[in-house]
Amino acid sequence: MDLVTRIYQYLKPYKKRLIMGIISMLFHSFFTVFFVRVFQNLIETIISDIAQTEEGFTTLTWIALAMIVVYFLKGLSYYGQKYLISYVAQKAVRDIRDDLYKHLQNLSLNFYSQHQTGEIISRVTNDVNQLQGAIVKGAVSTVYQFFTFVGGLGYLFYLNYRLTFLLILVLPLMSYIISRFNKKIRKVSHRVQVKIADVSDILQETLSAVRVVKSFGREDFEYDRFARQNDANFRAKMKNTQYSAVLTPSIEFLASIAITAILWFGGLEVMRGNMLPSELIAFFTLLLTITNPLKSLTNLNSTLQQALASAERIFETMDVDNFAVDSDEEEKKELSTVKGEVIFENVSFSYFEKEEQILSGINFSAAPGETVALVGPSGAGKTTLIDLIPRFYHPSSGQILLDGINIRDIKLSSLRSHIGIVPQETLLFSGTLQENIAYGNLKAGKDQIIRAAKMANAHEFIADFEDGYETEVGERGVGLSGGQKQRIAIARAILKNPALLIFDEATSALDIESENQVQEALNRVMQDRTTFIIAHRLSTIKNADKILVIVEGEVHERGKHSELLENQSIYYDLYENQLNKSPAGEV
């Protein structure tokens, strides 16, 4: 669909205000041109013979009053066009930003693995702001200036068609120059938006990982990297400015030639008696009046081209298919209750088509209430396997069954409502501890939140804070230890009361004391729930009902802890390796 058409679809719901705004524009353009007619009458009255009579004084007074009325009506119509069009534009841009953010929220993790965070943020902020500025200022001004120019040109024909033809001879050349620059400006504008996204991405990366940057003493390195992208952004913007700087004076130069020729020929017409002096003055005044719209149209061209480049990037993102959500999603099954039986049947997966498979031929089952642990070297595919359960990704082949139902036949929101996840890197939001726990169930009351915190071994340390559950935490949980953040995450998952629990190396980054507290909470939470654990420390999964050893995307061993040790194979080697490295003999 054409970009302009797609933008109009967002303006359409507010078409009544849009029409009223356009009508206000028409009135404003009319009064702008009509003022010249009143001004012409004023000049004629001043220089005519009746100017010294009583009748001349009365006429002059009425014309002066008419000019005041015209200015008042012009101001009134200006307010109408400015307010109404701005209202429509702001609403449309709000809807575009809402739709873009909603689409981003619903996209699969595949999209985020291919796009940098800074680039995505740039599209939601910079690109949408660019489009907003163009609709509010660019599009509104373009329509208004166009009406004024066309209306003024029509009145110029009425005053003297011969002089007007001189002006029209220059317009095709102006149009040609504008069209040639349009393509260049739009191309450069797209490059500018890309460079802004690159700057945003570096900014987001370095600020979110500022501890790593400082620990390695890479401040100067990151500054150089940022400066290079910032300079590339500068060069792209200057190229855009260069095209705009060439376009505007070129149009103005052609316009000045036309105005000079008209003034010369008009003076000749007056000298020959073919035109009244007041008509020439009115003609020239109106010509100057419509010259401003013509200059504005050339200046606005750059703004509009930048906006179209931004619109391309916005709609390009909105057109990305959400592979996690099928087209018939709303027709799928809702699950009111879940027992928790999970079966993988010959599941394989690769992130992109024609790439090497990350998982291959995975087969296993988890009975309701069972705990299944996944172990193996880094990069073996453990997290990817677990991510298939909540449909963060779809298997390339095979199927996953929940209580005998293919999870692709279950409505996505319903499926995920029965799954609680505690990731390795716990992310908390800026806000209170209570709000962070309540993220698991937004309708939960204070008593439920406290109960969940107690089950997660979090209540005691929360109560020690001066503000208790109302304690504010910084972005990403700044102010809390790793163990405290992890227990908040567990409380959040408990509050959701899921039938399935997923722990992705939930204790790997903790010290022994914190791990013991978290492990105690996990053991309490896992009761009567089907649980999947990605384990780093093998001592934490000794009591698991089933352990799967994943190597290079395949299940190489399976069984209980004691059985796998007896086999003296991969799991045995992993366990012995950790045992030998542990200072206290704890793995």
Residue 198: enclosing H or E segment and its boundaries? helix 161-208
* Tokens 């082949």, located at residue: 397
Mean pLDDT of 413-417: 86
Between CA 468 and CA 465 the distance in angstroms is 5
Do 288 and 256 touch, CB atoms closer than 8 A?
no
CATH topology (fold) of 3-318: ABC transporter transmembrane region fold (1.20.1560)
* Tokens 């963060």, located at residue: 392
pLDDT tens-place string over residues 130-151: 777 766 666 666 667 777 777 7
Pick 490 or 296 by higher pLDDT.
490
Give the least confident one: 182-191, 311-320, 448-457, 481-490.
182-191
Q: Which two tokens stand for residue 422?
A: 């505690």
3-state secondary structure of 395: coil
Radius of gyration of the chain (CA): 35
Backbone angles phi, psi at 361, to 5 degrees: 60, 50
Residue 346: enclosing H or E segment and its boundaries? strand 342-349
Between CA 373 and CA 543 the distance in angstroms is 10
Give the least confident one: 126-140, 222-236, 449-463.
126-140
- pLDDT of amino acid 51: 47
**Do 339-418+501-587 and 426-497 come out as alike in CATH topology?**
yes
Between CA 453 and CA 528 the distance in angstroms is 19
For every residue of 449-485, which 3-state class applies, written as one string?
HHHHHHHCCCHHHHHHCCCHHHCEECHHHCCCCHHHH
* Tokens 């959040």, located at residue: 492
- pLDDT of amino acid 498: 87
The CA–CA distances, whole Å, from 544 to 163, 183, 362 equal 94, 64, 19
Q: Can you say how many angstroms the Cα of residue 358 is from the centroid of all Cα atoms in its chain? A: 30
- pLDDT of amino acid 400: 93
Q: Can you say how many angstroms the Cα of residue 106 is from the centroid of all Cα atoms in its chain? A: 13
Between CA 223 and CA 229 the distance in angstroms is 10
- In this predicted structure, the answer to whether residue 585 has a pLDDT above a threshold of 50 is no
Between CA 510 and CA 406 the distance in angstroms is 36
Between CA 446 and CA 424 the distance in angstroms is 27
- 3-state DSSP: the chain helix, strand, coil percent, rounded to 5? 70, 10, 20
Between CA 415 and CA 500 the distance in angstroms is 10
Classify residue 410 by its DSSP letter. B
Mean pLDDT of 168-191: 65
Mean pLDDT of 413-427: 82
- In this predicted structure, the answer to whether residue 309 has a pLDDT above a threshold of 70 is yes
- pLDDT of amino acid 574: 81
The full set of domain ranges for the chain reads 3-318, 339-418+501-587, 426-497
- In this predicted structure, the answer to whether residue 587 has a pLDDT above a threshold of 60 is no
* Residue at 583: amino acid letter: P
Which DSSP string corresponds to 522-561? HHHHTTTSEEEEE-SSGGGGTT-SEEEEEETTEEEEEE-H
Superfamily assignment of 426-497 in CATH?
Answer: P-loop containing nucleotide triphosphate hydrolases (3.40.50.300)
Q: What is the CATH number of domain 339-418+501-587?
A: 3.40.50.300
Mean pLDDT of 551-566: 88
Do 415 and 335 touch, CB atoms closer than 8 A?
yes
Backbone angles phi, psi at 86, to 5 degrees: -65, -40
Q: Can you say how many angstroms the Cα of residue 182 is from the centroid of all Cα atoms in its chain? A: 26
Which band of pLDDT confidence, cut at 50, 70 and 90, is reported for residue 181? Answer: low
- Tally of CB atoms within 10 A around 190: 19
Sign for the CA dihedral angle at 425, 430, 433, 434 comes to negative
pLDDT tens-place string over residues 313-364: 788 888 877 665 666 677 788 888 889 899 999 999 887 666 678 889 899 9
Between CA 490 and CA 506 the distance in angstroms is 9
Which DSSP string corresponds to 44-56? HHHHSGGGGSHHH
Which of 39, 19, 133 is closest to 84 using CA atoms?
19
Backbone angles phi, psi at 392, to 5 degrees: -65, -30
- pLDDT of amino acid 368: 92
- Tally of CB atoms within 10 A around 244: 19
Q: Can you say how many angstroms the Cα of residue 387 is from the centroid of all Cα atoms in its chain? A: 25
CA atoms within 13 A on the CB side of 160: 25
- Tally of CB atoms within 10 A around 61: 11
The predicted model scores a pTM of 0.64
Mean pLDDT of 295-322: 72
